[in-house]
Homo-oligomer: A and B are copies of this chain.
């Protein structure tokens, strides 16, 4: 079976996408998921560009990946210097990454108008920058920027650039459609010609963008023409129209073209990895995304549903489970009683079929309203406990009120009042806060904390707000996700409402009630 390397650049080129920014720790988590998925290379970043990038390389040294090779990204040396004197090449050499990926110019227009370097100096810059890193012991990948524009302009010079990279010791030369200007048949023709030229000397790779909505097809065309290495990003994030979507590329290679690009069986992780990256980037997953979108295997209408039930091949091009997705039947969904029963068992509770059936209905209703329990295990567990009687409330609500006021040229004042019964005693507290949820949290803790000082142990560590139907403007429904910890365990809760404060209140109460269950239920439970 033919194999192709996947090179993920979500953390570098993907982060050029508008509005995207991740902390070093978040990038580490993405790298770890990519490692589990089994891509060949994880490009971590451009270590010279800012301190956050260097921090990531430190984190990656302390938390080594088990499958993927980490790549540091840099540019060819400046004109007229020695590679060893170029500070940004040095940073790449010193990054600790086993792979160095170096980008350089191919297209005369860029040499003339952007970097103002002559053509022979450019060839030297490519060759000796790569040789410097290769001699230092790194595996070197060369990204030939604007390759296809250069090829259209002057294919002899484009090939000279490739040969310079080969002489410099590149293990792979990647042909980049940097401006996303190229059509699949043009990609195929150029890749085939380059492969014929450098056969046996170097691997040829491909790096596409989606400006013609052909990023995936261009990558596949390159593979059909002989490329053995494909660069892209998860979900195709990236500047302008994005990079080639590595999720679709991987699924197409493995499932449609019979070409191996992930460890055996790992293609089933694609849906999970895709959703994780959207989640951590705070992007709404595209329901229509190929293979992994929520609607990718959705069927509606009698004939479609009947056809799928008779033989799924009638209306499905591939088994949704093959990529870790699932079929949606927009009428008559199958129940998940077994899942709920299994979940309850983990909590030490036994659910009979009837209770489980009732819970499935409740979960469905809640999910229809916008709740999402995948990241809110604690809210799900509380719901099961409420249904089975194994739940002790922390307090009984009488009312709460939040007032936010702004005066011209003045700050904002936020005040919350909470009135509750705790063990039958009425407690009233008012607190100020930075924001409405902070004020509510403080007031609630003050009210309940008089009876239950153990509340202090619980910290809220993570607060996410997602607008569900963004296109309804300020009239949209809000989902809040909260993570809380007692210093030992971390648990997630959720709340949903058109009112962001009510949604936050729901998640907040779940956070505290979940954390207090062991105290409230006592040692006998």
The residues of A with any CB-CB pair to B shorter than 8 Å are 16-19, 21, 109-110, 113-114, 179-181, 183-185, 210-214, 216-218, 220-221, 224, 236, 239-242, 245, 248, 251-252, 256-257, 282-284, 287-291, 293, 295-298, 300, 303, 306-307, 310-311, 313-318, 330, 372, 374-375, 396-408, 412, 414, 433-438, 441, 459-467, 470-476, 478, 481-482, 497-502, 504-505, 508
Beta-carbon contact of B501 and A436 below 8 Å: yes
Beta-carbon contact of B184 and A221 below 8 Å: yes
When chains A and B are docked, how far (Å) is the Cα of A284 from the Cα of B397? 34
* Chain B nearest Cβ from A519, distance in angstroms: 21
Main secondary structure of the interface of A (DSSP, over half): mixed
Q: Given A401-B405, A462-B471, list of 16 further CB < 8 A pairs?
A: A18-B374, A19-B372, A110-B307, A113-B310, A114-B310, A179-B317, A180-B317, A212-B248, A241-B293, A242-B288, A282-B464, A399-B405, A402-B405, A404-B499, A434-B499, A436-B499
Beta-carbon contact of B504 and A474 below 8 Å: yes
A–B complex contacts, Cβ < 8 Å, 14 sampled: A113-B311, A114-B310, A211-B296, A212-B251, A214-B217, A398-B407, A403-B403, A412-B501, A435-B474, A435-B498, A438-B475, A438-B498, A459-B473, A463-B476
Residue of B nearest to A242 (CB): B288
Q: Cβ of A284: which chain B residues have Cβ within 8 Å of it?
A: 470-471
* Chain B nearest Cβ from A267, distance in angstroms: 14
Beta-carbon contact of B179 and A316 below 8 Å: yes
Beta-carbon contact of B213 and A245 below 8 Å: yes
* Chain B nearest Cβ from A220, distance in angstroms: 7
Residue of B nearest to A285 (CB): B471
When chains A and B are docked, how far (Å) is the Cα of A257 from the Cα of B183? 9
Of A242, A293, A330, which is in contact with the most chain B CB atoms at under 10 Å from its CB?
Answer: A242
When chains A and B are docked, how far (Å) is the Cα of A464 from the Cα of B408? 25
Residue of B nearest to A440 (CB): B474
Beta-carbon contact of B408 and A298 below 8 Å: no
When chains A and B are docked, how far (Å) is the Cα of A303 from the Cα of B49? 13
* Chain B nearest Cβ from A417, distance in angstroms: 9
